[in-house]
Structure formats: structure tokens, C-alpha cells
């Protein structure tokens, strides 16, 4: 539906990520590099998943459980990858600290570590939005639009942008929670992230039912808000503790 | 306010040079993608041109959409072989010219080719755009504006005294124009050509008889810079504890140590004479690229650079007591034109800590992404990430190996791999999930 609509859909999915990028990430070059690498990692995970599932696609059944298995396997794989990312990050942190000692600058502050986690999460969120929403937006720049039968109240592009926004929020902030959980060895936080991811993925299964998206999308946003608030509380607590101990 | 301002963390400035070189590469790729998507619809004027183009790259075989896959592959291979052959010959001619110190000739030839690229290629693309958007402009104003911008471009590329932003902008524009013309080649030819150029680059830089390696060794032994079209990123300024004006060292191959002369000033791209020849519309650019770490020792400082920390493009922060910068020079050789033109470029960390990147990399990365844009935008994103990853890997390897390394292969191989994987595997998966509104 014209260029304006296309750009609108793109900004809907990526708006908050863009403002996060401009205000926080673009100031520090290392964070931009972190963002690019985590986007790449997400893309690679997606390619691996699609390689595994290629033989079974396109799924011709209308039953929901093959899709359920698809979502479960994908989320499981990506959460496993998150642990790998954490290990790599630990090694990187040691290297950075050693480097900081060599140039006689202070070691990484707490805010630095959180910013790196934020950049990594934002990379995941941006990758999700780009590959699940933006790459399909090309027809939206033309004169027509497209509706899906299961959810015919809104154009398909609008729905996918809204879902992509919710997932971008979830991905961005769950990485911060996860990194903090692995560092503090906090079980609750460590388990919070995979569970939220899984629940969010399963919630999209509701969209398979006719008219399901009216229920599914608000629930998805509830999960996103939950992640956001949990992350905010945790960050606030850690920063005040840090402040007090200094 | 704090009584003691907090010392700045290393995160503030780490990785700045890499970003300063990734940004123009990304901008060039973005411009080519936009041009390709605007100008390559079926109804536009550029599509007529692409089907009738005859260049060196399509000499052996002109692709027809009705040929079988085997035929197309064979034809594309033939085309690429012809092209790489021509490039090898021209590169050897360049080595010969450089050997006989014809640098003035090379400089003027580069300026001339920059004029051709900006004037004729740029003019033609501007005409396509005007046609497609029905932009009202009369031909006198058009010629005036075109001529002026071309002349400014030639001066910006040629002279060292221009504002650096202008030089950078014009170099990106030149890269974009040449890359766009490459995307007009037929599809199979383009992909096989990219792979062939990556392999040629590998051979030309690493094999003992390779032309690029000879060129680098000549340049090092004479302590001159290869005349080339080079993009220089703005130098990074630090207000940290390290006093600037530190002694600059360039190290050669890690075992030799030359006592350099005024090599520091020459290291700046400003005084790099430009060598880029482009003889017109039917031009094909070739790029051999390689990374090379070179260093010389300044007369004032005879300390051997064995243990100095490798900056490798990651950071220019040096330890306070050891003031040395190891400049990394990666040279890219670009050959742009229908046969006798050669453009040599260099990537390097010059004496001021600025990264210099040759134009050939810009062009070939943009060709890859532009070709991916002709299929779909998903491949564009995937190929972009792959190319950036390749560039990062190359920089890391360069910091590690400290010798001349080719810059094109990693990015092109990863780009082609990701293109194929995305097109064959990822697209079906994503479309399936998205159409059912299933996301994770």
C-alpha cells in the first residue's frame, strides 16, 4: 500500500529498537559490533533450524501439533545458543579486562556489562524483526495489500509488525536478564528467560485458530510488558546495590 | 556532580576504527540496493540496457534465460575465465609501469578514469532516474550540474587538500556507480565472476609469483606507496593519557627492519596518487585485494617492533610507556575498465591512525549485495551480515598473521554461501511460519 505504508510498517516493528540504537548503542562502537555479531548469530541459528526443518516443509496439515513441535525445537535451540553466547561473552570479558589493565584504564563497569547485554539482546530483537517482518514487506511498498484468512481484521503486514515489535522487546530485555542471572547464579532469572521465550512462542500458536489473533496478540504484549518490568526491577536493584557499595 | 569525574571506560572508544570503515561500506551497499530496487523494475529504462550490454565480462557467452543450467554454468565459467585473464594481464602491466616509475602517468590515468566514471556512468544513471521519475529538468542545467560535480569529484579524489568528508563521499559515489554497472551483468555470470575474483585475489596475493605480491614488495623495497584509489576514514583522536605525536612505526614482514624516511607522510592517503582507470561504459572492474601489514622504522626510533602490540584495526590505544603504532596496510588492487585500466587501492592504518580502505572492496561487496537485492530483501540482509562478518574475520586474521592477506575471499565466500542458504532453506521456513503468524 504505497511507500508510506511500507515505511510505516517497518518503523512500527523497529521503532523502539531504532531509538534504543540511536540513543545508547551508536555512541559506543564496541556495542555496534556486539549488535552486528549477535544479529549474525541469530541468523545462523535460523539457517540451521530451517536446514533441519526443510525436509518437512511446507507443512500441509492443519493440525496444530506439527507447528507446536516446530516452535518448541526452535525455541529450545535458540535458548541453548544463549548459553553458548554467555560463555563466549565471559571469555570476551576477561580479554577486555586484561586489555584495560594493560592500558591502565578501569575495568568494565557494571553499566558497561549491562550495555553489552542490551546490545546483544537488541541484536536478537532486530534480527527477529528484520527476518520475520521486514523481509516480507516488499509487496507492501506496492499498490495493494494482503490479508490472512485466519485473522482478517487487519492487513497481514500490520499484524506481523505488531508481533515483531513484541518479540523485539522480549528478546532485547531477556538477554539482559539472562546475563545477569548467569553472572549472579540466580536460578529464577536463569529460568525466567527460556520460559518467557517458550510461552511467547506457544502463544503465537493461538494465531492458527480462526480469529485467534485477537486473543493471542494482547497476551503476547502482556509477556513483553512482564519481561520489561522484570528487567527494569532487576536493573534498578543492581544499580542501587552497586551505588551503595561504592 | 562528582568531585572526581569518572575515568572513561575502555568501552567508549574500543573498536572505533572498525566502525569507521564499516559505516561507509554499509552506506555504499545501501545506495546500491536502493538504486537496484528503483531502477530494475521491468518497466524502467535500465532493464533495456542490461540485456544488450556487451562488455569484457560477457564476451565469451551471453546468457539467455532459456538456456539449461549446465549451459549457463559453462558459459558463466568461460566469461569469468576471460575476465580474470584480462585482469591478470593488466595487473602485470601495472607492476611493470610501477617498476619503471611511471607514477605520473598512472596518476593522470586515475584522474581521467574518475572523470569518466562520475561523468558518463553517473550521468547515465542520473538520466535513468530522471526518466523514471519524470523529473523536470532541462538539458543545459543538467549538463552544468553534472560537469561541475564531476570536476569537483576528480579534484576531491586527486588532490589531498580537499575536505576529507568530500573525498570520502566522492569515493563512495564512485564505488556505488561502478558496482551498479556490474549488477547489470547476467545473473550466473555475476556470481561465478565474484567467486572467480575472490580466488584470483587469493592467488595473486599469496602465491610467490602473484602480481599483487610483487607490487607490494616493490612498494616496500622502495618505501613508496602504490598509487591507488583509497578511502581514508577520519583519523581517530584520543584524549587519553597517551601523548600523541608518538613515533610511528611501520614494520615490514616482521623480520626485516628498514629505516624509513619520510614514510609517515606518504602513508596518508592524501598523498597517495590515485590510480584508477576506467575507459568508459563498457567497463569491467576487477579487484584483487589483499591485506598487508607493513611497517617501517622511523629514523628517530630504532627500536625493533617485535613485541609491540598489534593494533590490527581493533584499537589504537597504546600502553602509556610504549608509544608505537603498528600500521596495518592492506592493499586492494582494483582494475576498472575494459582492459587497460587498473586501479590500485590500499587499506591501511596510516600514520595518523586512520584506516584506509581501497575502493575495490566497496565495489565487489556492493555488487554481491546488489545482486542479492535483485532476488529478495531477505537475501540482502543475510548477505550484508555475511560480508560484515567476513570483513571482521579478515581484520582479525590480519592482526594475527601480520602479513599480506587477501581481503576479498572471506566476505565473498561467506556472502555467496549465505545467499544460497537463504534462498534455498531460509525463505521457505520463514514464509511458512509468517503466513501462519507463528513467530519465535
pLDDT digits (tens, 9 = 90+) for B223-236: 777 777 777 777 66
Q: What per-residue confidence (pLDDT) applies to B29?
A: 95
SS3 state of residue A146: coil
Q: How far is B314 from chain A (nearest CA, A)?
A: 10
Q: What per-residue confidence (pLDDT) applies to A177?
A: 94
Q: Chain B partners of A112 at a C-beta cutoff of 8 Å?
A: 9, 11
Least confident of A6-15, A99-108, A111-120, B269-278: B269-278
Q: What per-residue confidence (pLDDT) applies to B296?
A: 32
User: Which of B:212-271 have CB within 8 Å of A?
Assistant: 240-241
pLDDT above 70: residue B247: no
CA distances B17 to A203, B53, B201, Å, are 43, 39, 24
Alpha helices in A54-155 (DSSP H): 65-102, 110-132
Nearest to B421 among A47, A57, A134 (CB): A47
Q: What per-residue confidence (pLDDT) applies to A49?
A: 92
Size of interface A-B (CB pairs under 8 A): 165
**pLDDT winner (highest mean) among B101-105, B293-297, B373-377:** B373-377
- Over residues A16-36, the mean pLDDT reads 93
Q: What per-residue confidence (pLDDT) applies to A131?
A: 92
- Cβ–Cβ below 8 Å for B11 and A112: yes
- Cβ–Cβ below 8 Å for B11 and A159: no
Q: What per-residue confidence (pLDDT) applies to A160?
A: 92
**What is the rounded average pLDDT for all residues in chain B?**
72
Q: Chain A partners of B320 at a C-beta cutoff of 8 Å?
A: 103-104
- Over residues A29-36, the mean pLDDT reads 93
- Cβ–Cβ below 8 Å for B426 and A46: yes
SS3 state of residue B358: strand
Q: Is the peptide bond before A184 cis (omega within 30 degrees of 0)?
A: no
Least confident of A13-22, A81-90, B62-71, B407-416: B62-71
Where does the pLDDT of residue B402 fall: very low under 50, low under 70, confident under 90, or very high at 90 and above?
confident
Instruction: List beta partners, residue B355.
Output: B349
pLDDT in tens, B4-13: 566 777 777 7
Least confident of A162-176, B127-141, B401-415: B401-415
Q: For residues B380 and B373, is the Cβ–Cβ distance under 8 A? A: yes
pLDDT in tens, B344-372: 333 444 445 566 677 888 899 999 999 99
Question: Which residue is closest to B382 within chain A, CA to CA?
Answer: A43
Where does the pLDDT of residue A55 fall: very low under 50, low under 70, confident under 90, or very high at 90 and above?
confident
Q: For residues B91 and B288, is the Cβ–Cβ distance under 8 A? A: yes
- Cβ–Cβ below 8 Å for A70 and B433: yes
- Over residues B134-162, the mean pLDDT reads 90
- Over residues B278-291, the mean pLDDT reads 34
Where does the pLDDT of residue B57 fall: very low under 50, low under 70, confident under 90, or very high at 90 and above?
low
Q: For residues B21 and B356, is the Cβ–Cβ distance under 8 A? A: no
pLDDT above 50: residue B335: no
Cα-flanking dihedrals φ and ψ of residue A7, to 5°?
-65, -35
Question: Which residue is closest to A104 within chain B, CA to CA?
Answer: B319
User: Which of B:343-402 have CB within 8 Å of A?
Assistant: 376-378, 381-382, 385-386, 388-389, 392
ipTM surpasses 0.90: yes
Residues 6+ apart with CB under 8 A from A118: A20, A24, A25, A31, A172, A175, A176
Amino acid at each position: 500500500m504505497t511507500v508510506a505504508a511500507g515505511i510505516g510498517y517497518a518503523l512500527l516493528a523497529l521503532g523502539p529498537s531504532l531509538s534504543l540504537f540511536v540513543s545508547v548503542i551508536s555512541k559506543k562502537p564496541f556495542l555496534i559490533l556486539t549488535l552486528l555479531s549477535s544479529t549474525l548469530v541469530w541468523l545462523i541459528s535460523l539457517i540451521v533450524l530451517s536446514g533441519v526443518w526443510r525436509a518437512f516443509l511446507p507443512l500441509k496439515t492443519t493440525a496444530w501439533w506439527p507447528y507446536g513441535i516446530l516452535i518448541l525445537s526452535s525455541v529450545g535451540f535458540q535458548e541453548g545458543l544463549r548459553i553458548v553466547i554467555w560463555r563466549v561473552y565471559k571469555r570476551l570479558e576477561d580479554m577486555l579486562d586484561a586489555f584495560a589493565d594493560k592500558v591502565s584504564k578501569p575495568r568494565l563497569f557494571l553499566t558497561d556489562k549491562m550495555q553489552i547485554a542490551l546490545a546483544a539482546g537488541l541484536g536478537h530483537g532486530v534480527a527477529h524483526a528484520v527476518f520475520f517482518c521486514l523481509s516480507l514487506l516488499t509487496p507492501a511498498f506496492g499498490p495493494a495489500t494482503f490479508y490472512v484468512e485466519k485473522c482478517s481484521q487487519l492487513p497481514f503486514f500490520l499484524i506481523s509488525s505488531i508481533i515483531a515489535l513484541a518479540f523485539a522487546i522480549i528478546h532485547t530485555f531477556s538477554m539482559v536478564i539472562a546475563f545477569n542471572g548467569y553472572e549472579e547464579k540466580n536460578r529464577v532469572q536463569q529460568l525466567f528467560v527460556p520460559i518467557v521465550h517458550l510461552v511467547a512462542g506457544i502463544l503465537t500458536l493461538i494465531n492458527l485458530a480462526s480469529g485467534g489473533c485477537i486473543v493471542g496478540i494482547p497476551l503476547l504484549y502482556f509477556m513483553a510488558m512482564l519481561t520489561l518490568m522484570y528487567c527494569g526491577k532487576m536493573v534498578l536493584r543492581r544499580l542501587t546495590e552497586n551505588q551503595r557499595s561504592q | 556532580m562528582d568531585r572526581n569525574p569518572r575515568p572513561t571506560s575502555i568501552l567508549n572508544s574500543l573498536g572505533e576504527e572498525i566502525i569507521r570503515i564499516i559505516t561507509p561500506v554499509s552506506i555504499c551497499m545501501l545506495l546500491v540496493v536502493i538504486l537496484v530496487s528503483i531502477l530494475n523494475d521491468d518497466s524502467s529504462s535500465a532493464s533495456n540496457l542490461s540485456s544488450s550490454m556487451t562488455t569484457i565480462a560477457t564476451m565469451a557467452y551471453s546468457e539467455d534465460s532459456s538456456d539449461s543450467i549446465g549451459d549457463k554454468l559453462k558459459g558463466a565459467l568461460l566469461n569469468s575465465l576471460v575476465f580474470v585473464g584480462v585482469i591478470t594481464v593488466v595487473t602485470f602491466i601495472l607492476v611493470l609501469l610501477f617498476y619503471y616509475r611511471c607514477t605520473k602517468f598512472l596518476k593522470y590515468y586515475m584522474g581521467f578514469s574518475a572523470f569518466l566514471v562520475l561523468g558518463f556512468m553517473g550521468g547515465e544513471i542520473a538520466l535513468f532516474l530522471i526518466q523514471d521519475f519524470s523529473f523536470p529538468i532541462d538539458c543545459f542545467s543538467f549538463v552544468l550540474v553534472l560537469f561541475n560535480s564531476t570536476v569537483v569529484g576528480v579534484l576531491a579524489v586527486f588532490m589531498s587538500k580537499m575536505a576529507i568528508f568530500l573525498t570520502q563521499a566522492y569515493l563512495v559515489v564512485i564505488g556505488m556507480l561502478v558496482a551498479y554497472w556490474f549488477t547489470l551483468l547476467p545473473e550466473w555470470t555475476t556470481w561465478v565472476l565474484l567467486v572467480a575474483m575472490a580466488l584470483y585475489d587469493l592467488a595473486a596475493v599469496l602465491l610467490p609469483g602473484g602480481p599483487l605480491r610483487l607490487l607490494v614488495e616493490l612498494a616496500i623495497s622502495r618505501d613508496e606507496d602504490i598509487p591507488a584509489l583509497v578511502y581514508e576514514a577520519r583519523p581517530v583522536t584520543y584524549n587519553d593519557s597517551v601523548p600523541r605525536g608518538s613515533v610511528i612505526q611501520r614494520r615490514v614482514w616482521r623480520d626485516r627492519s628498514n629505516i624509513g624516511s619520510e614514510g609517515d607522510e606518504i602513508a596518508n592517503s592524501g598523498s597517495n596518487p590515485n590510480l584508477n582507470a576506467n575507459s568508459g561504459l563498457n567497463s569491467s572492474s576487477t579487484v584483487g585485494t589483499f591485506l598487508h601489514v607493513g611497517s617501517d622504522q622511523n629514523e628517530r626510533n630504532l627500536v625493533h617492533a617485535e613485541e609491540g602490540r598489534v593494533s590490527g584495526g581493533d584499537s589504537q590505544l597504546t600502553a602509556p610507556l610504549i608509544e608505537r603504532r603498528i600500521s596495518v596496510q592492506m592493499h586492494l588492487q582494483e582494475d576498472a575498465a575494459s582492459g587497460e585500466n587498473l586501479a590500485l587501492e590500499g587499506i591501511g592504518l596510516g600514520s595518523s591512525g586512520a584506516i584506509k580502505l581501497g575502493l575495490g572492496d566497496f565495489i565487489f561487496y556492493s555488487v554481491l549485495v546488489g545482486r542479492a537485492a535483485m532476488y529478495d530483501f531477505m537475501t540482502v540482509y543475510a548477505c550484508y551480515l555475511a560480508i560484515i562478518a567476513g570483513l571482521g574475520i579478515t581484520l582479525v586474521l590480519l592482526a594475527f598473521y601480520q602479513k599480506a592477506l587477501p581481503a576479498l575471499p572471506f566476505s565473498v565466500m561467506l556472502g555467496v554461501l549465505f545467499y544460497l542458504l537463504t534462498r534455498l532453506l531460509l525463505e521457505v521456513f520463514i514464509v511458512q511460519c509468517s503466513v501462519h503468524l507463528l513467530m519465535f
